[in-house]
Amino acid sequence: MATAQSATTAPVPPFDQVTRRIHEISTLPQVAMRVMQVANSPSAGAGELKEVMEYDPALCTRVLRCVNSSAYATRVRITNLQQAIAYLGIRQIRNLALTASISNLFKQQHTTGTYNRTSLWRHLVAAGICSRMIAMRCRLASFEDMFLAGLLHDVGIILEDQHLHEVFSAMVSSLSKETTLCDAERRYLGFDHTTLAEAITKNWSFPDTVVAAVRFHHGSANYRGPHVQVVHCVEIANFICSIKGISSVGINLVHFPREAIERLSLTKEDVVVLATDLDREVSANESLFQL
């Protein structure tokens, strides 16, 4: 596929070569991979999850700090993983562990034009929180799976930034409200962050809910599969965060997700309430944003 790269940028390798290189480098820490596998296994229990997490003391410390934050309103201080898992359950601890691990991708700061990594991280966490809020408002099951899907929906952007940095920076500098992010990515890279993230999250064995969300969060109407409610929630959360100024690339290029809103039977008033309540939830979960 032809790209509109600057003469000063290196050519973009073929898509399969890009995904293979990212998979081989294995950007996601091994402990995070094991946490996800254990948490998603029907036969695994709290003891196995605790054992896996204890291989990374820094991860354990951060998870415990989050558990003891105002977001969870614990009546007594939780001092160890066993207590934390008993109090919050395996899936919430999985989410906290993956949030802490994935945040490492953003620690080396970089800014290009309106984009910077810290703001992208804030967008991802806010979208995870908002996806969970939407699911709760619609009385959908698996709130914590909604959070994880929202948290990872734009992981393709940070992977482009890290592994195709020169061309990515040129692409970001070209952004304007007359285009969409996906269109700009396809011009410069030959693919966009949704197709890249789909391939990588499959390689990393993320849950199907996450794979669906990363691929279709800019067009949930095009998704045909069993996780349509997750994709709708993430698309709406992405929109709400973007209109509130918590955008992925520092400029709002997200279209109004009318069909997703209608499919979840949400009203305009519902969206306004969710957007307003997001401020409170973001404030309560501030520990999740810390890099």
Spell out the long-range contacts of 5-13 with Cβ–Cβ below 8 A and sequence spacing 24 or more: 5/167, 5/170, 5/188, 6/170, 9/166, 9/167, 9/170, 10/166, 10/167, 12/164, 12/167, 12/188, 12/189, 12/190
- Please tell me the predicted confidence (pLDDT) of residue 64: 93
- Please tell me the predicted confidence (pLDDT) of residue 1: 46
Beta bridge pairs of residue 112:
115
Nearest to 194 by CA among 233, 231, 140, 141: 231
Residue whose entry in the numeric block shows the structure tokens 């809103």: 261
Q: Which residues contact 263 (CB under 8 A, 6 or more apart)?
A: 220, 228, 232
Could you count the other beta carbons within 10 Å of the beta carbon of residue 20? 14
Q: How far is CA 148 from CA 95, 131, 210, 211, in A?
A: 6, 9, 7, 11
- Please tell me the predicted confidence (pLDDT) of residue 33: 84
pLDDT in tens, 87-142: 989 989 999 999 988 898 898 888 999 999 999 999 999 999 999 999 999 999 88
pTM: 0.92
How many whole angstroms separate alpha carbon 58 and alpha carbon 117?
Answer: 22
What are the chain's domains? Answer: 15-289 (1.10.3210.10)
Beta bridge pairs of residue 111:
116
Nearest to 159 by CA among 14, 1, 25: 25
Q: Which amino acid is it at 114?
A: T
Q: How far is CA 236 from CA 84, 129, 283, in A?
A: 31, 12, 20
CB 140 within 8 A of CB 229: yes
- Please tell me the predicted confidence (pLDDT) of residue 26: 65
Within the chain, which residues score under 50 in pLDDT?
1-2, 6-7
Which tokens is 206 given?
Answer: 């993320």
- Please tell me the predicted confidence (pLDDT) of residue 5: 55
